[in-house]
Amino acid sequence: MKVQYKAKRNLLQTILQVEILQGLALTLRKLFSRPITRQYPDEKPPMYAGFRGQHALVRDPLTNASKCIGCMRCATVCPSRCIHIKTHPGDSGQRLIDQYAIDVLRCVFCGYCVEVCPVGAITMTEVFEYASYDREAIYFDQEILLANWDRFLEQTGYDDTYVNPFWRPRGTLESRLAAAMRRDVPADWTIEGQFVGTKVRQPPASKPITDTEAAHA
Ligand code: SF4
Ligand code: SF4
């Protein structure tokens, strides 16, 4: 193994302490260069549409209750088994929800629960600041999940017309969407707007959108 020794300094370099001068010069240079870090939390990062943040249960504007119909699809598809739902049958055969909770500390933020929900009842908001020292505070029950939705609308200014990109995955034919997902979308909700995770929301070049899909988006 070759051992790399530090180059010897001559007398002049020792007297002038050139390494210190080099360090100061670097500091001075960086003082006037563009910062690559952000002064968080004073300076917040921009949020991308479809960011997989804090879970919320969407409130039905007609009933003011959760839109959830207790179909269990989200709990079934969840790879972490962290969605806990208990229901009982109602008078007309519908499922009434006794418990809906998400153990977020076990969640891997895959978004499957949002994608599979037939009525758009569960979403992952673009809120990422909800760290806590208390484990219980990260176990979201139905009330907390509804409150998360209210707070998300309040913080962002969205209203009931909010559409999460996971509810209408890019390129999915409208005929393939559940009836509740075939909803009017905002005028700026384009094919590009449906692409999750990039600021400009360009569809990947490797998967072009067909004219038929574009017509249905
Ligand atoms: S995001 Fe994925 S892991 Fe988290 S609750 Fe939903 S399905 Fe489960
Ligand atoms: S998939 Fe949607 S409607 Fe079904 S239980 Fe989950 S949140 Fe409720």
Which pLDDT score is estimated for 202? 36
Ligand 2, CB within 6 Å, residue ranges: 68-74, 85, 116-117, 119, 121-122
Contact 127, 148 (CB under 8 A): yes
- Domain boundary assignment for the chain: 55-168
CB atoms within 10 A of CB 167: 24
Best-predicted range by mean pLDDT (124-128, 188-192, 204-208): 124-128
Name the band, by pLDDT with cuts 50, 70 and 90, for residue 176. Answer: confident
Query: Among 108, 106, 85, 105, which Cα is nearest to 97's?
Result: 85
Share of the chain above pLDDT 90, in %: 44
Q: Are 97 and 68 in contact (CB under 8 A)?
A: yes
pLDDT tier for residue 164 given thresholds of 50, 70 and 90 = confident
Q: Which of 91-100, 136-145, 204-213 has the lowest mean pLDDT?
A: 204-213
**Residue 110 Cα, ligand 1 centroid: separation in angstroms?**
5
CB distance 49 to 128 below 8 Å: no
Ligand 1 environment, Cβ below 6 A: 77-80, 82-83, 102, 107-113
DSSP β-ladder status, 122-124 and 83-89: unpaired
Pull the structure tokens for residue 91.
């008078």
**Residue 125 near residue 158 (C-beta atoms within 8 A):** no
> Residue 78: nearest ligand to its CA?
1
pLDDT at 36: 84
**pLDDT tens, 54-77?**
999 999 989 999 999 999 999 999
Half-sphere exposure of 59 (CA within 13 A, CB side): 19
| The predicted structure's pLDDT at residue 188 | 60
The Å distance, Cα 23 to ligand 2 centre, comes to: 58
Identify whether the C-beta of residue 70 lies closer than 8 Å to the C-beta of residue 123: no
Structure tokens at 139: 């176990």
CA 55 / ligand 1 centre spacing (Å)? 9
Ligand 2 atom with least separation from CA of 70: 5
Output the CA–CA distances (angstroms, integers) from residue 13 to 21, 110, 151, in the order listed: 10, 57, 62
**CATH classification for the domain delimited by 55-168, as one of 3.30.70.3270, 3.30.565.10, 3.30.479.10, 3.30.70.270:** 3.30.70.3270
